[in-house]
Structure 1
Amino acid sequence: MLKQAALIALLGMSASAMAGQWQVKVGASVLAPTSDTDTALGTVKADNEYAFTPSVEYFFNDNISAELLLATPIGHDVLLDGDKAAKIKHLPPTITAKYNFKNSTRFTPYIGVGGTAFVAWDESGAAKNVKEDFGFAGQVGFNYQPADAKNWGVYFDARYAQLSPEVTLIDELGGGKFDLDIDPMVYTIGYSYKF
C-alpha cells in the first residue's frame, strides 16, 4: 500500500514537472519519542536519536507543495524500566502536503499534513519481531532565504509522527507482545536549494 501511494505521488509530480519547481533539503534531525508503553514486562520506551534526513519537495505554485522526507535507517534503543533491552532500526518515509505562507519578507512559514510509515529494518537484543506501522504526520516550520542567495536557504521544522509498531520482546523474565508507542517529535535544521 505504501509503495502504491508513493508511486502515485511520484507519477503525479512527474506529470506536472514542467509547471513548478523542485527543492532539495538536507538536514540533521533529533527524533524525540513522546510516549512510553506499560507492558507486563514493565515500562518500555524508545530513546532519542539523531538522523540525517534529506527530503525532496515539489512546488505546484508559490503556496502549495508536496514534500517527501527520506532518511538512512534510524536506530532506537528500547528501554525496559530504564535499562536497554533491545535495539530496533527503521526507515521513516513521510509525505506531507504543505501550505507555504508567501509574504514580503525572506521568511516563508509553512504547515503540512500527511502520512508516515515505520518500515522495520533490523532488530537486536530482546526484540524478536517488529512489524511495520502507518500513521498521521504533521509539520510546522519556516524557510529563510538570505539577501545574497538566489536559490538556497536555511530551514527549521518540527514534525509529529504517529507511530506505534507492534514489537515482541523476549527476555529472561518471559516475553510480551505490545504496540510500542514512539510517536516522535522530529526537529530538523538544514539547507534548502530550489531549482
Structure 2
Amino acid sequence: MDLSWWFRRTTKSSTQHSPNPNPNSNPPKPQNEEEELGITEQLIDFVKSFTFDTFKNFPLQDDDDDGGSETAMTTSSSSSSSRGNVRNDLSEWQQRHATLVLSKIKEISKLRYMLCPRHLKERQFWRIYFKLVKSHIAEYELCAIQLEKLKTMATENEKSSDISPHEVEMAETKHTEHISPPSP
C-alpha cells in the first residue's frame, strides 16, 4: 500500500470530521456594516463640513483621465450607468460605502443633488469625494480588500480539498503509467 495515499486519506478524514479546535482563530468581523465601510463619527463630521465650493473648486484633471493611480476607484466595467443611485465605476466596497453615506448623511445627499449633473458629472463627484475622505477610509478599504483575498484563498483551498483520495491515487497512477516504460 502506498504510504502517501494513506497519509492523505487519514489527514483528510480527520479534518473533515473534527470540529474547529479553535473557534477564535477566525479573524474578527466588524460589529456592523457602518464600521466595515468606515462610516465613523469623525467621517460623518468631516463630510458634513463639505460645501458646494468644496466640490466646485476642487482641482481635478480632465474627466477622461481617470488617473493611473486611481485603480481602486474603477472596476473592469467602466459603464456610466448607475446602480442603486451610485455609479458602477466604483469598486464594490466604494459602492456600498457611497450608498450608506448617501442614506446616513443627508447633507452629502443634498450636496450631490445640487451638483450633479448641472455642475459636475457623477464620476467627478465621486472621484472628489473619495479623494477628500481618503485619509478617513483608507484603512477600512484596505481591510476589506484583504478580507476578500482571504475569502478567495479559502474558497480555492476548499475546492482543492474536495478531491477524494481515490481520485488523487487514480491521477497518480495514470501519470506514472505514462512516464514508466512498459514491462517486458
**Normalising TM by the smaller chain, what interval?**
under 0.3
Calculate the TM-score normalised by the size of structure 2: 0.24
Calculate the TM-score normalised by the size of structure 1: 0.23
Q: Which has the larger radius of gyration?
A: 2
Structure with the largest fraction of strand: 1
Structure with the largest fraction of helix: 2
